[in-house]
């Protein structure tokens, strides 16, 4: 288990982290989301030992993480961290050797991840000759080539097409099933909701919400219904007590029910308004939950 305990960090008068605490269990994928400048990258770099915290500590396996342990963590930075003139295969073999692999082990590890990430036809190309999406695949391979116990990924889906996104998602889940603790940041909240076991939302250097998306939804959102009524006039549900329209489109409305509101009264009103095509529960998205906790 990777734990960040009460991390604080300042850059002059700017507070980057303000007592941030976060747990990333082994075998889980945790999404780390927040507005630009909220402290995500700073927290990740402290977890890796690249930056020092002004206060607080990083724990691994229940004890303070050592430099030797942190050097084993896999890292994918948001900015490119590759040698552009090196061939893909040589690049990965070199990085594996830096982590103590002998020539045969480095060759085996490089070949494994080149094949797994769909880079076999690009293995002898220089990194700078690749598309941004394929460079991102190489970047992930570089983080994985030494079989790290922790993966810390900053915007790993940047530049990937849908196929690349699927491959990346599959690999993260595979690593988690092997007991790796995985944390990644992303602004693609629909993707985070789909891929992650848990989510942590950071704002102004502090965790403001954390847990499974369904848990956050239960804690922070009221029941919602999607109601599509054929031929209904605008405002047909405005007079129903305890009902608030969240969104409206050509097919119908998304409504939120206050405490004690009667969904059967809403259904009766829908039937009076026209032919009911849809009357079903709807869930707040992670993006909506994100806006709610960040704007508080």
- The pLDDT tens digits for 5-49 are 999 999 999 999 999 999 999 999 999 999 999 999 999 999 999
Confidence (pLDDT) at 247: 85
- The pLDDT tens digits for 54-72 are 999 999 999 999 999 999 9
Element (H, E) at 24: strand 14-24
> How far is Cα 165 from Cα 227, in angstroms, rounded to an integer?
33
Query: 2-217, what's its fold?
Result: Rossmann fold (3.40.50)
Strand order in the sheet with 243-248: 243-248, 252-257, 224-230, 275-282
User: Hey, what are 91's tokens?
Assistant: 């690049």
CB-CB neighbours of 239 under 10 Å: 9
Confidence (pLDDT) at 226: 94
Which regions in the chain score pLDDT beneath 50?
none
Partner residues linked to 243 by β-bridges? 257
Confidence (pLDDT) at 291: 87
Please, what's the largest Cα pairwise distance for the chain? 76
Domain ranges of the chain: 2-217, 222-294
Confidence (pTM)? 0.84
Query: 222-294, what's its fold?
Result: Alpha-Beta Plaits (3.30.70)
Confidence (pLDDT) at 72: 93
> How far is Cα 92 from Cα 56, in angstroms, rounded to an integer?
34
């Amino acid at each position: 288990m990777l734990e960040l305990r009460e991390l604080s960090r300042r850059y002059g008068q700017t507070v980057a982290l303000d007592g941030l605490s976060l747990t990333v269990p082994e075998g889980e994928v945790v999404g780390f989301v927040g507005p630009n400048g909220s402290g995500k990258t700073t927290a990740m770099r402290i977890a890796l030992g690249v930056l020092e915290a002004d206060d607080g500590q990083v724990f691994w396996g229940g004890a303070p993480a050592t430099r030797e342990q942190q050097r084993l963590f896999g890292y994918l930075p948001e900015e490119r961290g590759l040698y552009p003139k090196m061939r893909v295969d040589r690049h990965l073999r070199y990085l594996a050797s830096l982590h103590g692999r002998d020539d045969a082990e480095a060759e085996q590890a490089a070949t494994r991840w080149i094949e797994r990430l769909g880079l076999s036809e690009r293995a002898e190309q220089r990194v700078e000759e690749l598309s941004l999406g394929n460079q991102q695949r190489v970047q992930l391979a570089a983080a994985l080539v030494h079989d790290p116990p922790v993966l810390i990924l900053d915007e790993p889906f940047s530049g990937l097409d849908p196929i690349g996104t699927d491959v990346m998602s599959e690999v993260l889940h595979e690593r988690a099933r092997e007991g790796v603790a995985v944390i990644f940041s992303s602004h693609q909240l629909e993707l985070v909701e789909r891929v992650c076991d848990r989510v942590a939302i950071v704002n102004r250097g502090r965790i403001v919400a954390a847990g499974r998306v369904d848990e956050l939804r239960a804690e922070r959102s009221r029941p919602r219904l999607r109601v599509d009524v054929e031929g209904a006039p605008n405002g047909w549900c405005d007079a129903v007590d305890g009902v608030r329209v969240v969104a409206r489109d050509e097919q119908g409305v998304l409504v939120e029910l206050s405490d004690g509101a009667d969904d059967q009264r809403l259904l009766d009103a829908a039937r009076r308004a026209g032919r009911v095509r849809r009357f079903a529960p709807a869930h707040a998205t992670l993006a909506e939950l994100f806006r709610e906790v960040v704007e508080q």
